[in-house]
Structure 1
Amino acid sequence: MLPNLSLYIQSFDATNQEIGWVMASFALGLLGMRPKMAKLTDDIGRKPAMLIGIVVIAIAPLLYLSVQAIPSVILALPILGWSVKSSVVLLAMTRAFHGISIAAFATAYSAAIADMAPIKSRGELIGYMSLASPLGLAFGPAIGGYLEGNFTLAFLAMTALGSIGILCVLAIKEPERPSFDSQEDVAIPKKKRSSSYGAFWSLLFTPPIRVPALILFMVGIAFGSMVAFVPLHTRQLGVPINIGLIYTVSAIASFSIRFLSGKASDQLGRGRFISMGLACYTLAMFTLWLSDSPQMFLLAGAFQGAGSGTLIPIIAALMADRSKPSERGLTFGLCLTGFDLGIALAGPIMGGIADVGSYSLVFALSGCMTLIGLLIFITTSSKDLSHSIRFALNGGRDVYAVK
């Protein structure tokens, strides 16, 4: 879907900013449903939440297609001086609905894997189990690239894959959650845990969660910009490349590095690998900024894949380290809220910048954001500057880890 969606939105005569708003609406669905899905994951179970997510994945492509069957009209807001096509509004609503899929599935899946992972090899197992994501990104966008312009076939293929996913989720068993006894030095303070979901957003600013969430916010901006504007950028430059190949190269790099990074983080510490992931994301965005050939775009995809393959599973392991089994849906949901918000803001803000500037400027600014994220992580990832530097660069211990 990734190679086709922004082009599909453009086919409704949407501007760059409107394309950005539609793409960002995905994160609005994520943000709105993340607290509810986190609570569902912890209170009712991992499997029900995963089932909700995969059902949405199967339904959403059909809703995208249905928009083209509805006559488009101009909707005006005279007081604000705004006007927008009804088709763009419907696409944004569908995109927001689509966001529920990740709010439900990704939170529950991450919690389920953490439940099954032994503490000493948690990073390794999370790394292996997250290999499914780059596999999907390897095959899906590549197929989508070959189907570029054939939106009906591309979206129907997505629905078919979602239907297969529903059967797979129905076949699994709810994972058992390990018992857990600890002292009071737990990631989320006891007072706040007692009303965790009523204080969902305030917990976002607790020391164990705020820095991972902030750096994922920076990465979300970069990722959102890449997904929304790389297809349009290559078309504008006239670069002869199948967009799906960029995502395939990214997925291969992500797949390859996950074999090493998870196990290594168990032995050498999470911090240095998170720093490496942020550095790779920064290189990816700056490479996109300078890209003017297929080779450069593919190199950017490789850097992005290496960054994603290192950063996302290691932060998942870090959040598992910092939470009890009964809190993992909450903790993962809180941390990933930063990523959601970054994607939400990337579309409209970077779309506006693209309208008045260029796509290259969008990627340069995205690279600056991830570089700032790296500096923030190095200096504030632990209780003080010296501990932060040791944790981020030298394998120092995580002072917020649950004992």
Structure 2
Amino acid sequence: MVLLISGFCFWASLGSQLPTLPLYIGDLGATEQQLGVVMGAFALGLLGSRAWLGRIADQRSRKVVLQIGLVVAAIAPLLYLGVKTLPILFAVRAFHGVSLAAFTTAYTALVVDLSPREQRGELIGYMSLINPIGVMLGPTVGGLLQAWAGYLPLFLLASGLAIVGLLAASTIDEGLAQGEVQPQVSKKQKFWGLLQAPRLKIPATVMLLIGLTFGTLSTFVPLLIRETAVDLNAGLFYSVAAIASFVIRVLTGKASDRLGRGRFISMSLCCYGLAMILLWLAHTELTFLLAGIFQGCGSGTLIPMIAALMADRSEPHERARVLSLCISGFDVGIALAGPCLGTVATLVGIRPMFGLACGFAGVALLLFATSNSKDFSHSIAFALGNGRDIYALDSVVPNVAQ
């Protein structure tokens, strides 16, 4: 329960700034390209801190890394208040990215540590519900608070939520699920060297492409809504996406323990592609909200399923580093999306970028369907839910494979 409370506060803090921070940066005089660069700095902080945070979580303590994430999440909103120049804002945004790297690495590793193997997908799905709940309430409250009272109360709220989460995290006990043993950690194992392993290459590449897609979404949806001149608060888009993400997590986590992870990952990539097509074509409130639903279904399925997949493919002593490395692909995608697609927006406008983002999701689906296993036939079978994951290290396998 305290882990859930801590997670809710973290995601609500981060979510409250989703629809408002791009507007804040724009109000400081940033162009669309500069906006993309500053927003992309968040992922630079993520990427730059993943390796050492994963190592600390594996070799020392998941709890310490969780607390690092919440401390940074509490400090960063206060720093935004004092920033008036874009170079300093870039640095603060990168610092803020450390919070997400630390919290997601430690939180997911803790959930997996405490989950029985045969219920891993189910419990990851349930414990990840704090993400859509926090991101559902955070943007709505943040958007309304900013419109009503300005940026000062917004950033104070974001900082206060993280502090409450930090207090909850201080009471968390660490441990492993019954039947799991923590072996001796090999300090010679290189973080980036793990990426050469076949079990990680394709999931990390898929996360890179979806990171590019999500980076487009998080940076430019508020601006697209403003440009389209529809009567829709950007916070409502994120709230609808969060509701869809909540519902889909309840349904898919337990099912993946019985039916395998592959079919759900494939479905999530299709949902991302549909969301980007709808945003590319959106001119009404209904279309934006429908896109939010598909995006929520995509993210609500993909992130927990990838986490469960990587947990299946890793030992406890390397778990945090494996999870961190796979999610680093997502970080790189977000980092590239801001500056690269910001340049595209400057040249051709905001709307065409969502067509490009649809292409990223399509390539991710193609790669996963054809290359996630040792050969084409095994890859297709796993992606369609008709075969086992040959890289899974656990003795427990889905019923479909037995």
- Common topology (TM > 0.5): yes
2: CA distance between counterparts of 1:240 and 1:123? 39
Aligned counterpart in structure 2 of residue 389 of structure 1, from 364, 367, 380: 380
Q: Which 4+ runs in 1 deviate beyond 3 A?
A: 176-182
2: CA distance between counterparts of 1:343 and 1:179? 37
2: CA distance between counterparts of 1:110 and 1:219? 19
Give how far 1:194 is off: 5.7
Corresponding residue number in structure 2 for 1:335: 326
Aligned counterpart in structure 1 of residue 188 of structure 2, from 189, 195, 207: 195
2: CA distance between counterparts of 1:282 and 1:266? 25
Whether the 8 Å CA contact 2:47–2:332 is kept in 1: the answer is yes
Q: Structure 2: which 5+ residue stretches go unaligned?
A: 1-16, 395-402
Give how far 1:176 is off: 3.4
Whether the 8 Å CA contact 2:143–2:234 is kept in 1: the answer is yes
2: CA distance between counterparts of 1:162 and 1:193? 34
TM-score (norm 1): 0.91
CA-based RMSD of the aligned residues comes to: 1.6
2: CA distance between counterparts of 1:144 and 1:385? 46
Aligned counterpart in structure 1 of residue 355 of structure 2, from 364, 375, 387: 364
1: CA distance between counterparts of 2:187 and 2:262? 29
Whether the 8 Å CA contact 1:270–1:395 is kept in 2: the answer is no
Whether the 8 Å CA contact 1:3–1:148 is kept in 2: the answer is no
Corresponding residue number in structure 1 for 2:397: none
Number of aligned residue pairs: give it.
375
Please list, as runs of the form range in 1=range in 2, the aligned pairs for 1:8-19 lying within 5 A after superposition: 8-19=24-35
Corresponding residue number in structure 1 for 2:144: 146
Q: Structure 1: which 5+ residue stretches go unaligned?
A: 69-86, 183-189
Corresponding residue number in structure 1 for 2:168: 168
Residue 336 of structure 1 aligns to a residue whose secondary structure is helix
Please list, as runs of the form range in 1=range in 2, the aligned pairs for 1:307-346 lying within 5 A after superposition: 307-346=298-337
**Deviations 1:167-212 (CA, angstroms, capped at 9, x unpaired):** 1101211233656479xxxxxxx9x96622xx22122131111111
**Deviations 1:38-95 (CA, angstroms, capped at 9, x unpaired):** 0010111111000000010010000011103xxxxxxxxxxxxxxxxxx111111001
2: CA distance between counterparts of 1:229 and 1:16? 9
1: CA distance between counterparts of 2:187 and 2:157? 44
2:19 is aligned with 1:3: yes
Q: Read off the aligned partner of 1:107 and give its amino acid letter.
A: T
Corresponding residue number in structure 1 for 2:270: 279
Residue 19 of structure 2 aligns to a residue whose secondary structure is helix
Aligned counterpart in structure 2 of residue 297 of structure 1, from 270, 288, 310: 288
Q: Read off the aligned partner of 1:38 and give its amino acid letter.
A: G
Percentage identity across paired residues of the two chains: 51
Q: Read off the aligned partner of 2:343 and give its amino acid letter.
A: G
2: CA distance between counterparts of 1:375 and 1:387? 14
2:254 is aligned with 1:238: no
Whether the 8 Å CA contact 2:115–2:177 is kept in 1: the answer is no
Whether the 8 Å CA contact 2:73–2:159 is kept in 1: the answer is yes
Corresponding residue number in structure 1 for 2:196: 205
Please list, as runs of the form range in 1=range in 2, the aligned pairs for 1:77-92 lying within 5 A after superposition: 87-92=85-90
Whether the 8 Å CA contact 1:180–1:324 is kept in 2: the answer is no
Please list, as runs of the form range in 1=range in 2, the aligned pairs for 1:60-99 lying within 5 A after superposition: 60-68=76-84, 87-99=85-97
Whether the 8 Å CA contact 2:32–2:345 is kept in 1: the answer is yes
2: CA distance between counterparts of 1:14 and 1:335? 32
Residue 147 of structure 1 aligns to a residue whose secondary structure is helix
Residue 240 of structure 1 aligns to a residue whose secondary structure is coil
Corresponding residue number in structure 2 for 1:113: 111
